[in-house]
Amino acid sequence: MSNSMELKFKASISNELLARQAIVAFISPINPTYEEIGEYKTIVSEAVSNSIIHGYHFDASKDVYLKATILEDEVEIIIRDYGVGIKNLEEAKMPHFTTRPDLERAGMGLTIIETLSDSFSISSVEGMGVKLIIRKKYSLDKTCDEQRV
């Protein structure tokens, strides 16, 4: 069932919805539960808003890239921007760390992504953007009591 997709969109907050809807449509062949759908949406939304807010400082002329691949037993999601990058990755990963407390986003984005995924890596060069690689396992055999879509 290997499949992949790439999406490039403007760094506008309204495109968070587009990115979420795209990932939900893309993963439908793995027959996700409602809870899994919610998790994928949150992961993508957190990553995309990080790129828009921190990477590009709301500059909607810039582009965010979302790439997803369905592998044998996991889904790989790559979110990429070419914005300002992250100075200190360890600091950025700390819960409640944020460079923009005024925006009330709780500084939890990366912590939430990390918790909801099976593996997560972040790389950045200051001034050259951020690349997030997220992997999340799936199973096609689900127990009967799990909700299906």
Partner 1 sequence: MESKIKITSFDDGIVVKISGELDSSKTSLYKEKIHQSMRTFGPRYMIWDLKDLTFLDSSGIGLILGRYNEIEKIRGVMGLVGLNAYSRKIISISGLFQIIKEYSSIKEFMKEEKINQ
Q: Write out the residues near partner 1 by the rule CB under 8 A.
A: 13-14, 16-17, 20, 34-35, 38-39, 41-42, 45-46, 49, 53, 95, 103-109, 111-112, 115-116
- Candidate list 20, 50, 74, 80, residue with the active-site label: 50
Report the residue number, 39 or 74, with the smaller CB distance to partner 1: 39
Asked whether 43 and 136 are in contact (CB, 8 A), the reply is: yes
Q: 50 catalytic, yes or no? A: yes
Q: Is 46 in the active site?
A: yes
Catalytic residue among 76, 105, 114, 135: 105
Q: How far is the CB of 38 from partner 1 (least distance, A)?
A: 4
CB of 133 to partner 1, least distance (A): 19
Side chain identity at residue 21, one-letter code: Q
Between strands 130-137 and 119-124, the pairing is: antiparallel
Q: Is 148 a catalytic residue?
A: no
CB of 130 to partner 1, least distance (A): 16
Q: In this complex, which beta carbon is closest to partner 1, that of residue 71 or of residue 105?
A: 105
CB of 72 to partner 1, least distance (A): 26
Which residues, 6 or more positions from 126, have their beta carbon under 8 angstroms from its beta carbon?
84, 85, 86, 87
Across 77-106, b (16+ Cβ under 10 Å) vs e yields bbbbbbbbbbeeeeebbeeebbeeeeeeee
On whether the CB atoms of residues 113 and 46 are closer than 8 A, the answer is yes
